[in-house]
Amino acid sequence: MMSLRSFSFIKLMNMKKIYYCPICGRELIKSEIKGYSFQCLHCDEDFTESEVIIKNEKDNEKEK
C-alpha cells in the first residue's frame, strides 16, 4: 500500500509546470536557441530553466 506522502509526491510530479518570464511575468514558450530552454515573445529574451518562474497547475488555480 502506498503511503500518503508517496502519493502526494507522485501527484506533485505529474502536475503540469508552467514557466513564466522573470521580467514581465508572461507565459514562456520553448526556445529554439541552443543553450536556452525558454523564450519570452514580449521581452524578446531567452532564459535557462534556472532563471524563470515555475508554477504548477495547482498554483494557478489558487490565484484565480
**1-17 pLDDT, tens digit each:** 556 666 565 666 667 89
The answer to whether residue 7 is domain-embedded is no
Residue 50 has pLDDT above 90, yes or no: yes
Range of the domain at 22: 17-63
The answer to whether residue 55 is domain-embedded is yes
CA gap 25, 35 in Å, rounded: 21
The answer to whether residue 2 is domain-embedded is no
pLDDT for 56 equals: 83
Averaged pLDDT, 32-58: 94
pLDDT for 47 equals: 98
Backbone angles phi, psi at 30, to 5 degrees: -65, 140
If you ran DSSP here, which 8-state letter would residue 32 be given?
A: -
pLDDT for 57 equals: 74
The answer to whether residue 57 is domain-embedded is yes
